[in-house]
Amino acid sequence: MGMEKLFRLMQSNGELTADDLSRRTGLSVEEVRAQIAEWKEQGVIRGRQWVIHNDKVQNRRIKALIEVKIKPEAGGGYDRLANRIARFDQVISCSLYSGSYDLLLEVEVDDSLQVATFVFDTLSKIEGVISTQTHFTLKSYKHNGIQFEGDEDEERLPVAP
């Protein structure tokens, strides 16, 4: 149970230190550290980042989603090509989906021209890419479970029965 709690806490809040995690879960700091090391070793944990509200960033970068249809390869399926596409620096996330397209990429670049360049000059030239469809992000409301404009703090009674 302790490890499950640890996992949930780490998933919901990357700021928590080993000390914080120990206090919240009741595990010792050493146990927390050992478990984190094990998860890293196993490749379960791959890093942590801040969640940024992109709309608030000055000179914010452009984000877009690109639906990509690709041709599966004999033997390798989608993996080789998906990994190849994911390697580009512009691509910040890449997953394989069921449905009308195969890969959904999120790209982040400095301006809209760079999106166009990436799609036309890079992506569409890759052998096995059948078609793409690009959606520019206009505004963000929630990211990784964090809502950007949430509830207002109401007046909660400081003392109540």
Partner 1 sequence: MNYSSKISETVGAIPRSGIRDFFELVIGRDDVISLGVGEPDFKTPWNIREAAIYSLEKGQTSYTSNMGLLSLRKSISRYVKDLFKADYSPESEILVTVGVSEAMDLALRALCNPGDEVIYHEPCYVSYSPSIAMTHAIPVVVETKKEYNFAVQAEDIAAKITPKSKVLILNYPTNPTGAVASPEELEAIAKVAVENDLIVLADEIYSELTYEGDPGLSIVQMPGMRERTILLHGFSKAFAMTGFRMGYACAPPELIEAMMKIHQYAMLCAPITSQAAALEALERGGPAVEEMKVNYEMRRDYMVRRLNEMGLDCHSPGGAFYVFPDITRYGLSSHEFAIRLLEEEDVAAVPGTAFGECGEGFLRCCYATAFDQLEIAMDRMESFVGRLVKQA
Find all residues with CB under 8 Å of 137, minimum gap 6, and list them.
Answer: 54, 62, 63, 64, 65
The answer to the question of residue 47 lying near partner 1 (CB under 8 A) is: no
Nearest to 83 by CA among 94, 99, 68, 92: 94
Residue among 32, 29, 45 nearest 3 (CA): 32
Three-state secondary structure call for residue 70: strand
Out of 57, 74, 138, 157, the residue judged to bind partner 1 by CB under 8 A: 157
Residue 3's CB is within 10 A of a number of other CB atoms, namely 14
For the record, the structure tokens of 112 come out as 């809209």
Binder to partner 1 among 11, 14, 26, 116 (CB under 8 A)?
26
By CB under 8 A, the count of residues binding partner 1 is 13
Output 26 or 76, the one with its CB closest to partner 1: 26
Which residues contact residue 110 at a Cβ distance below 8 angstroms, ignoring those fewer than 6 apart?
61, 62
Of 3, 5, 54, 92, the one binding partner 1 by CB under 8 A:
5
Interface segment toward partner 1; rule CB under 8 A; list 37-45, 79-87, 127-135, 149-157: 149-157
Nearer to partner 1, 125 or 156 (CB): 156
Interface with partner 1 (CB under 8 A), residue from 43, 47, 75, 161: 161
Please pick, from the candidates 18, 24, 33, 39, the single residue that binds partner 1 as defined by CB under 8 A: 24
Contacts with partner 1 by CB under 8 A lie at: 5, 8, 23-26, 151, 156-161
